[in-house]
Amino acid sequence: MLDITALFKLSYGIYLITAHDGDKNAGCLVNTVFQITAEPVRVGVSVSKENQTHCYIRAGGTIAVNVVDEKAASPLLGKFGYRTGRDIDKFAETKCHKDIHGDMYIDEGVVSQFSCKVVKEVDMDTHTIFICDVVDSNIVCDGAPMTYNYYREVKKLQSSKFAPTYVNLAKH
Ligand SMILES: Cc1cc2nc3c(=O)[nH]c(=O)nc-3n(C[C@H](O)[C@H](O)[C@H](O)COP(=O)(O)O)c2cc1C
């Protein structure tokens, strides 16, 4: 028997990933950035094929990861986590600057940032796991990184159907 609530006990962080296609930028909220190896410094992230950000990662071959601060404002998280860049310009009123690849580093509500080059894609049907080498990084401030548990229990915010960890309880 599969008790899906057992998976609720998995721990995650909260991240804003960004990507670019020429002069255009995309970005979304994810909870699935994880480190894979130390040498080389390599991370993975699972991205829904429905997200605009997926197309931009494919086009540019790079990703910037912004590690979200516990103190980040809810509207910033809402804009990146529940809206699509196909409908709004997520960067118009967001303080940000470009990293070494041309992906956006967010200047508000983040504790650290790293620039990643995609080295492999793993097709997972609804999602692609992008495996990336981290080629540049910096600490923004000494605040606490937001956990997924904090996002749900303290911020009282909800997941998205495009998150790989989304659970439709009606099906279980
Ligand atoms: C808490 C939370 C976690 C999320 N985690 C992921 C994730 O790990 N991977 C993913 O592809 N989408 C995830 N999403 C969904 C995207 O952030 C969302 O679909 C976004 O609107 C996509 O924007 P875009 O179309 O501009 O790329 C998450 C959303 C929330 C609110």
Higher pLDDT, 34 or 172: 34
State if residue 128 touches ligand 1 by the CB under 6 angstroms criterion: no
Q: Is the pTM of this model over 0.95?
A: yes
Q: Please state, in angstroms and rounded to a whole number, the distance separating the CA atoms of residues 5 and 19.
A: 33
The region, left, alpha or beta by phi > 0 then psi within -120 to 50, assigned to residue 54 is: alpha
Residue with CA closest to ligand 1 atom 2: 159
Task: Dump pLDDT digits (tens) for 37-87.
Answer: 999 999 999 999 999 999 999 999 999 999 999 999 999 999 999 999 999
Could you tell me what percent of the chain has a pLDDT over 70?
99
**Domain-wise residue ranges, the chain:** 4-171
CATH superfamily for 4-171 is: Electron Transport, Fmn-binding Protein; Chain A (2.30.110.10)
Q: How far is the CA of 132 from the centre of ligand 1 (A)?
A: 18
Provide the b/e sequence for 124-160 (b: ≥16 CB within 10 Å): eeebbbbbbbbeeeeebeebeebbbebbeeeeebebb
Task: Dump pLDDT digits (tens) for 103-129.
Answer: 999 999 999 999 999 999 999 999 999
Average pLDDT taken over every residue of the chain: 95
State if residue 32 touches ligand 1 by the CB under 6 angstroms criterion: yes
